Amino acid sequence: MGLRNVEYMIQEAFTGIRRNGIMAFASVTTIALSLGVLGTFALLALAANRFVLSRVNQFEIAVFIEGKTLADIEPVLKQIRSISGVVEMNVRDRKKEWEAFKRDRPDFESAGVPLDVLPFAVDVKVSDPGRIAQIASKIRLIKGVDRVNESKELVDRILAVLRVVKVLSIAGVLVLLGTTALIISNAIRLTLYARRLEIKIMQLVGATNQFIRLPLVIEGVVLGAVGAVLAWFFLTLGGRYVALMAEKIVFLGRISSGVGRAELACGLIFVGAMIGAAGSFVSIRRFLHD
């Protein structure tokens, strides 16, 4: 196929969009809406994933070390720091701990127990929540460590939840992707139906299927991409609003899907264009076989 014909097909695709303005508008709107729903779901799933992960990261190993002053526990801290996988350590404020303890056990205070009876509590952050148990057992072996609290069950449960969230979101995205493809191919079928005379004439004068199909597939790609840009616009606006709302809800904190604006645009346009092309291709097949 010559360059002249390719040029003609691209030209035909845009002429087609212009001449069938209302149908093109309907298709773009449908594509934008379906991609918007798909994108919202995918972004929420990603945000949920990240949110759960960030919670897991906050589950650190609590290490209790005996000692009267910070200097006493320094050698132990050094050893913990040298274990691979340990990212950060935080010695808790003993006064605050004491206040909290007193609230729980008023009997201790009345008995005149001094502050330094409490061990130092150190929060150890690890790089990978899956390695908590392994690192905890290493810390346990260090001399001077009184007790290690790894909250293993909680971590396991959260990891299990994370797995479920992952599976559900992948399944959800797949189902929505399928539905979006169906809706879009239906919208394109309507635009084709409006042009069945044109297609019929092309067939009767001996246009090859490729010659009939390509401009329409290009049209599908363009409509898909335009729909995707609209969806991107609304998702970006909506995303900013949701993030603002989330920050107001204290326990949620900063929430983000971790997907950049450019990445989101590229992803949506790619999906929109692919679905547009596939939708056209499938719908035209039916017409060509009539």
Partner 1 sequence: MIRFDNVSVEYPNGVRALNDVSIHIAKGEFAFVVGPTGSGKSTLLKLIYREVTPTRGRVLFDGEDIGALKANQVPYLRRKLGIVFQDFKLLPQKNVWENLAFAMRVIGRHPRDIRRRISEVLNLVGLTKRCDAFPHQMSGGEQQRAAIARALVNHPTVLLADEPTGNLDPDTSWEIMQLLEQINTHGTTVLVATHDSQIVDRMRKRVIQLEAGYVVRDQEKGAYQHSTLTEDLCCGA
Comparison of 3 and 111: residue with beta carbon closer to partner 1: 3
Positive or negative torsion for Cα 103, 105, 107, 112: negative
CB of 212 to partner 1, least distance (A): 7
Q: Does residue 204 bind partner 1 (CB under 8 A)?
A: yes
Comparison of 8 and 108: residue with beta carbon closer to partner 1: 8
Task: Pick from 22, 111, 197, 262 the residue near partner 1 by CB under 8 A.
Answer: 197
Helix (H) or strand (E) holding 183, with range, is helix 152-194
Instruction: Using the structure block, give the residue that is written with the tokens 């340990």.
Output: 86
Helix (H) or strand (E) holding 63, with range, is strand 61-65
Task: Pick from 21, 106, 112, 206 the residue near partner 1 by CB under 8 A.
Answer: 206
- The span from the CA of 192 to the CA of 217, in Å, is 11
- The span from the CA of 6 to the CA of 18, in Å, is 19
Comparison of 16 and 276: residue with beta carbon closer to partner 1: 16
Task: Pick from 173, 212, 243, 259 the residue near partner 1 by CB under 8 A.
Answer: 212
- The span from the CA of 224 to the CA of 281, in Å, is 13
**Residue 154 corresponds to which tokens in the numbers above?**
């909680």
Comparison of 190 and 194: residue with beta carbon closer to partner 1: 194
Q: Does residue 198 bind partner 1 (CB under 8 A)?
A: yes
Q: Does residue 200 bind partner 1 (CB under 8 A)?
A: yes
Q: Residues 6 or more apart from 147 whose CB is under 8 A from it? A: 63, 64, 119
Q: In what order do the strands lie in the sheet with 145-149?
A: 86-91, 120-126, 61-65, 145-149
CB of 4 to partner 1, least distance (A): 7
CB of 166 to partner 1, least distance (A): 45
Radius of gyration of the chain (CA): 30
Q: Does residue 208 bind partner 1 (CB under 8 A)?
A: yes
> 16 to 35, contacts with partner 1 by CB under 8 A?
19
Nearest C-alpha neighbor of 139 from the set 81, 67, 68, 87: 81
Task: Using the rule CB under 8 A, give the single segment among 161-169, 209-217, 236-244, 254-262 that binds partner 1.
Answer: 209-217
Q: Does residue 211 bind partner 1 (CB under 8 A)?
A: yes
CB of 197 to partner 1, least distance (A): 6
How far from 257 is each of 169, 242, 261, CA to CA, in Å? 13, 11, 11
Q: Does residue 248 bind partner 1 (CB under 8 A)?
A: no
> 250 to 279, contacts with partner 1 by CB under 8 A?
none
Task: Using the rule CB under 8 A, give the single segment among 86-94, 155-163, 204-212, 261-269 that binds partner 1.
Answer: 204-212
Residues touching partner 1: how many (CB under 8 A)?
20
Instruction: Using the structure block, give the residue that is written with the tokens 């589950």.
Output: 59
List residues binding partner 1 (CB under 8 A): 1-2, 4-5, 8, 19, 197-198, 200-209, 211-212
